[in-house]
Amino acid sequence: MNSAAIPLYYDGKTSAGQPVDIITHEKEMEFHFTFPENGFHVVKEPITINYTGCTTAHVAEHLYVYINGSGAEYLAIPFTHPSYLTIRDNIIHANPSWFGRLMNMHVGVLAFVFVMLLVGGYFAIANVVPWVGLKIISPSQEKLMGDKLFQAFVDIGETDSQKTRLVNEVAHALELSKTYNIQVTVLQNKEVNAFALPGGRIVVYTGILKSMKSGDELAALLAHEASHINKRHSLRSLLRSSAVAILISVALNDASGIASVLVENAETLRNLGYSRNLEREADASGMQLLLDNHIDPIAMRNLMLRLQEAYGKAPDMIAFLSTHPATQERIDNANAFAKKYRSREYAVNAVVSKNWDLIKN
């Protein structure tokens, strides 16, 4: 073999390179030393070098392999040497760049990373859009939106105009909102359900009126729904569930698209489930509204018990429990709240009790 083509190993201690035979393996290479010294063949123990941690440089027709980062211990392989390419590729493979590492990953891991990026992006959008929306949408715009949504609902059931008038009188006899004009519509529907639209509208089904036993329970329902409105829970949920579509409308600079996106979500809103936290907030704020109106907040707990009873009788008919789940925790909280104010004097609201008698019949 031409001596120029022999790899030289520099051990970092002696300045002269030692010729080596190299045996390459998948993860490491072996250097075998055998060279004449003073006329005898001296055989040194071979050494094994792992590719991981090796760096390479191409200098003057040699591949320099730096073995442990110090630069003192290295191997110089002539380009003409048969193992030059194998060693170079093995080192690249053992020490990939971040991109190389990504490309070496299993397809499943890559798919997982991709899905996590998508999910993360979605959650970012689902949180940022409502946050911005709540800041820029005024109560009057909110009302327009609620009216549009309401138009999409009118076909769902016949309006009970007499009960609508009676329940509205109850709502207006109470102080339910400082910002919004609360407007109630009673729809003829056996479902035990009620929901709030952004901007002040409350829709009450005759089914839920039937399950109640007192005017105070009706006041509790209105206070709970009005709290969802006051705290802009419907708007928030709507913005959240439409976040991606809204963002697309914004990106396309299509302002009218945003309104229609929200209206298209009308059906979503009807079946809208609030998070536990929002329900807790609406209960607490609703009971405070009852207190402010001199109504015993125990009515909130009674309403929840009534809904639970109705659930036992006809589970399919009770949508209110699924959109506002009446968990034992909520009943316990309502109970605890009412207990705190048990010793208060509560007045009978004349409109509430008079209208309740008429609604009941």
Q: Segment contacting Zn ion (CB under 5 A): 59-67, 151-159, 204-212, 319-327? A: 319-327
| Nearer CB in complex with Zn ion: 280/354 | 280
305 token code pair: 């018990």
| Nearer CB in complex with Zn ion: 137/278 | 278
Residue 233 interacting with Zn ion (CB under 5 A)? no
Per-residue binding letters, 240-279, with Zn ion (x by CB under 5 A): ----------------------------------------
92 token code pair: 């690249």
What string of H, E and C letters represents the secondary structure of the chain?
Answer: CCHHHCCEEECCCCCCCEEEEEEECCCEEEEEEEEEECCEEEEEEEEEEECCCCEEEEECCEEEEECCCCCCCEEEEECCCCCHHHHHHHHHHHCCCHHHHHHHCCHHHHHHHHHHHHHHHHHHHHHHHHHHHHHHCCHHHHHHHHHHHHHCCHHHCCECHHHHHHHHHHHHHCCCCCCCCCEEEEECCCCCCEEECCCCEEEEEHHHHHHCCCHHHHHHHHHHHHHHHHCCHHHHHHHHHCHHHHHHHHHCCCHHHHHHHHHHCHHHHHCCCCCHHHHHHHHHHHHHHHHHCCCCCHHHHHHHHHHHHHHHHCHHHCHHHHHCCCCHHHHHHHHHHHHHCCCCCCCCCHHHHHHHHHHHC
Rounded to a whole number of angstroms, the minimum distance from the CB of residue 191 to Zn ion is 15
Residues 192-211 that bind Zn ion (CB under 5 A): none
Residues 275-304 that bind Zn ion (CB under 5 A): 282
Cβ proximity of 299 and 217 under 8 Å: yes
Cβ proximity of 152 and 263 under 8 Å: yes
Rounded to a whole number of angstroms, the minimum distance from the CB of residue 334 to Zn ion is 12
Rounded to a whole number of angstroms, the minimum distance from the CB of residue 258 to Zn ion is 25
The C-alpha torsion from 243 through 245 and 246 to 248, rounded to 10°, is: 120
| Nearer CB in complex with Zn ion: 29/282 | 282
Q: Segment contacting Zn ion (CB under 5 A): 79-87, 129-137, 307-315, 317-325? A: 317-325
Rounded to a whole number of angstroms, the minimum distance from the CB of residue 225 to Zn ion is 7
Rounded to a whole number of angstroms, the minimum distance from the CB of residue 224 to Zn ion is 6
Residue 330 interacting with Zn ion (CB under 5 A)? no
| Nearer CB in complex with Zn ion: 301/324 | 324
Rounded to a whole number of angstroms, the minimum distance from the CB of residue 116 to Zn ion is 33
Binding residues for Zn ion, total number by CB under 5 A: 2
Residues 29-58 that bind Zn ion (CB under 5 A): none
| Nearer CB in complex with Zn ion: 20/321 | 321
Rounded to a whole number of angstroms, the minimum distance from the CB of residue 287 to Zn ion is 13
| Nearer CB in complex with Zn ion: 204/282 | 282
| Nearer CB in complex with Zn ion: 7/200 | 200
Rounded to a whole number of angstroms, the minimum distance from the CB of residue 340 to Zn ion is 22
| Nearer CB in complex with Zn ion: 282/287 | 282
Residue 324 interacting with Zn ion (CB under 5 A)? yes
Binding site for Zn ion (CB under 5 A): 282, 324
